[in-house]
Amino acid sequence: MSQAKDKPGGIGAEKRDAFDRRVRDRNLLGYWMIPNRSDGHREPEPGYGVHLWHWSEMQAILDEAVDNIPKEEAHRRFIGYQHPDLKMGTTPNLMLGAQMLMPGEMAPCHRHTMDAVRFVVEGDGSTCTVVEGEEFPMARGDLVTTPNWSWHDHISGGASRTIWMDAAVAPLTTHFRIGFADLHQAPQQTVTRPRGWSAAQFGPLRAKNREYSATAYRPPYRYPWVETKAALDVLAEGAGDPYEAVTLSFADPLSGGPTLPTVDCELTMLRSGEKTRSHRHTAAAIYHVFQGRGSAAVGDARVAWEEGDTFVVPSWAWHGLENRGSEPALLFSINDGPVMNALGFWREERR
């Protein structure tokens, strides 16, 4: 007599296991084989945790990259924050990293289906990103968008290096297998529009009949640091939000919604001693510390951060931020909230 313990329904374990093998051998999958089924209450399990990268380590690698990645391949001098729990990406949908352009260098013109943004952490404005024929200066604190399928290249025009945080939805496009890309026929595209063109087209005072690329679907845009800082300072005079402190959203100039269809950008100010209450949402977020020092409570973990550090808040993880310095702390962040909202997956809980 078989000593195998019966499976539910009185079916012997050996018989059930043999049946399961036959199902798998035919490249089929039974619902009962799925480990996380919707049989009862269930919540998301991200499968990756909070992670912190120190700027000192990134800076050292960027400096080494200058010696190891030649000038002719400066466009490849991008160093991504690869989460140790993931196959590719800083989060399952987003990749954040740092890119550095030295004086006299350039990155050739190309386009791709990834939405991308550049947040400048070191630069005097002499380096430009050229997007769809318009030059966008890159000074510290500026944010420049590169929408899906827009031609873009980078040109250093000064005596100082420029470093920016480069964010793209590479893991998302890889998941959907939609990674189109093209190289431009020339190393650099021709500048066809005056500086400030997009601001005049899509800023608060804008052209009545707006123009933008029909192939890139939406316009590029530059959010100058001087305007961002001025808005933060005004809002800091108010009470702020208990969960978000003083947070600015970089709104899409077309719709006023998320920065781009697949990624939203924000800048948070934590005033001295300020601490946010804990909440969680289905969007994953990546924070880069632009100024100050403090800590983040994420799930059961607590990470201490300072200027230049970068950390991940996984989706559906309880989290709160705290400024532990005497000066305001500023954190630039990106999240995949637009994707969650578009697909009807957005959820949020607050404590």
Alpha-helical runs (H) found in 26-107: 55-68
**Is residue 9's pLDDT more than 80?**
no
Q: Are residues 34 and 65 in the same domain?
A: no
Residue 75 tokens, joined: 């466009």
Q: Determine the Cα–Cα distance for residues 242 and 328; give it in Å rounded to an integer.
A: 16
Residue 162 phi, psi dihedral angles, 5° rounding: -130, 135
Q: Are residues 3 and 118 in the same domain?
A: no
Q: Are residues 23 and 78 in the same domain?
A: no
The pLDDT assigned to 35 comes to 81
Q: Mean of the pLDDT values across residues 322-329?
A: 96
Residue 11 phi, psi dihedral angles, 5° rounding: -90, 130
Q: Are residues 55 and 27 in the same domain?
A: no
Q: Mean of the pLDDT values across residues 305-322?
A: 98
Listed residue (146, 121, 311) closest to 220, CA to CA? 146
Residue 91: count of CB within 10 angstroms of its CB: 26
Listed residue (290, 295, 294) closest to 331, CA to CA? 290
Q: Determine the Cα–Cα distance for residues 246 and 235; give it in Å rounded to an integer.
A: 7
Query: Which of 69-78, 89-98, 191-200, 244-253 has the lowest average pLDDT?
Result: 69-78
- Tell me the average pLDDT of the chain: 93
Residue 32 tokens, joined: 């009962």
What digits encode the pLDDT tens for the residues 132-152? Answer: 999 999 999 999 999 999 999
To which residue do tokens 């630069």 refer?
A: 123
What digits encode the pLDDT tens for the residues 183-218? Answer: 999 999 999 999 999 999 999 889 988 888 878 888
**Is residue 75's pLDDT more than 90?**
no
The pLDDT assigned to 178 comes to 93
The pLDDT assigned to 213 comes to 81
Domain range for 12 is 1-42
Q: Are residues 70 and 95 in the same domain?
A: yes
192: CATH = 2.60.120.10
What digits encode the pLDDT tens for the residues 146-176? Answer: 999 999 999 998 899 999 999 999 999 999 9
**Is residue 314's pLDDT more than 60?**
yes
Q: Are residues 183 and 282 in the same domain?
A: yes
Q: Are residues 60 and 17 in the same domain?
A: no
The pLDDT assigned to 2 comes to 46
Q: Mean of the pLDDT values across residues 232-261?
A: 96
Q: Are residues 156 and 266 in the same domain?
A: yes
**Is residue 350's pLDDT more than 80?**
yes
Q: Mean of the pLDDT values across residues 63-80?
A: 87
Q: Are residues 276 and 183 in the same domain?
A: yes
Q: Are residues 158 and 74 in the same domain?
A: yes
Residue 61 tokens, joined: 């690698």
What digits encode the pLDDT tens for the residues 15-66? Answer: 999 999 999 999 999 998 888 777 778 888 899 999 999 999 999 999 999 9
Q: Are residues 189 and 234 in the same domain?
A: yes
What total of structural domains would you count in the chain?
2
User: Residue 24 is inside which H or E element, if any?
Assistant: helix 13-25
Residue 109 tokens, joined: 């013109």
Q: DSSP characters for 121-149?
A: EE-EEEEEEEETTEEEEEETT-EEEE-TT
The pLDDT assigned to 5 comes to 54
The pLDDT assigned to 198 comes to 93
Q: Are residues 27 and 151 in the same domain?
A: no
Q: Determine the Cα–Cα distance for residues 290 and 284; give it in Å rounded to an integer.
A: 19
Listed residue (281, 288, 311, 282) closest to 83, CA to CA? 311
- Burial zone of 159 (CB within 10 Å; 0-12 exposed, 13-18 middle, 19+ buried): exposed
Residue 269 tokens, joined: 């100010």
**Is residue 76's pLDDT more than 80?**
no
**Is residue 93's pLDDT more than 70?**
yes
The pLDDT > 70 percentage for the chain reads 97
**Is residue 1's pLDDT more than 50?**
no
User: What is the C-alpha end-to-end distance of the chain, expressed in Å?
Assistant: 56
Residue 274 phi, psi dihedral angles, 5° rounding: -75, 140
Compute the half-sphere exposure of residue 195: CA atoms within 13 Å on the CB side of its CA.
8
The pLDDT assigned to 37 comes to 75
Query: Which of 118-122, 155-159, 223-227 has the lowest average pLDDT?
Result: 155-159
